[in-house]
């Protein structure tokens, strides 16, 4: 997995989960600017509302690249984040009592 250096991206809650999963599962993470767009096997965005969102197309300046939104590593990270967030979730409102 390649990530931009952590001082140039927002290290939010979901990205922290992704990095924890990588460490847990022995997935190497390299922190460097990813400029070789044509070599990308996949890409994703992390956010609190979307969790891990696979990307299908990247436009960078005048360059455009389609990537595999179903990349196995990205799908593993997506499922793992979904599992962990569900596991750590708590019921806030019980509809039966309100």
Structure tokens belonging to residue 75: 């799908």
Residue 27 has pLDDT above 70, yes or no: yes
Q: Is residue 98 part of a domain?
A: no
| CATH code (residue 61) | 3.20.10.10
Q: Is residue 35 part of a domain?
A: yes
Residue 92 has pLDDT above 90, yes or no: no
Q: Is residue 32 part of a domain?
A: yes
What pLDDT sits at residue 68?
92
How high does pLDDT run on average in the chain?
91
The domain containing residue 8 runs over which residues? 2-93
Q: Is residue 69 part of a domain?
A: yes
Of 17, 25, 84, residue with least CA distance to 44: 17
Number of domains into which the chain is organized: 1
Residue tagged 């309100």 (tokens): 98
Q: Is residue 61 part of a domain?
A: yes
Of 32, 42, 25, 40, residue with least CA distance to 6: 32
* 53 backbone dihedrals φ, ψ, rounded to 5°: -110, 110
Could you tell me the pLDDT band of residue 89, with boundaries at 50, 70 and 90?
confident
CB 64 within 8 Å of CB 73? no
pTM, full prediction: 0.84
Q: Is residue 13 part of a domain?
A: yes
List, for residues 38-69, the tens digit of each pLDDT value.
888 899 999 999 999 999 999 888 888 899 99
């Amino acid at each position: 997995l390649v990530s931009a250096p952590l001082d140039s991206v927002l290290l939010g809650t979901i990205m922290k989960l992704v990095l924890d999963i990588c460490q847990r599962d022995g997935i190497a993470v390299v922190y460097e600017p990813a400029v070789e767009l044509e070599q990308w096997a996949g890409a994703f965005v992390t956010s609190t509302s979307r969790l891990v969102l696979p990307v299908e197309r990247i436009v960078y300046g005048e360059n455009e690249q389609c990537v595999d939104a179903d990349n196995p590593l990205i799908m593993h990270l997506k499922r793992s984040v979904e599992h962990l967030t569900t596991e750590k979730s708590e019921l806030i409102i019980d509809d039966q009592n309100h």
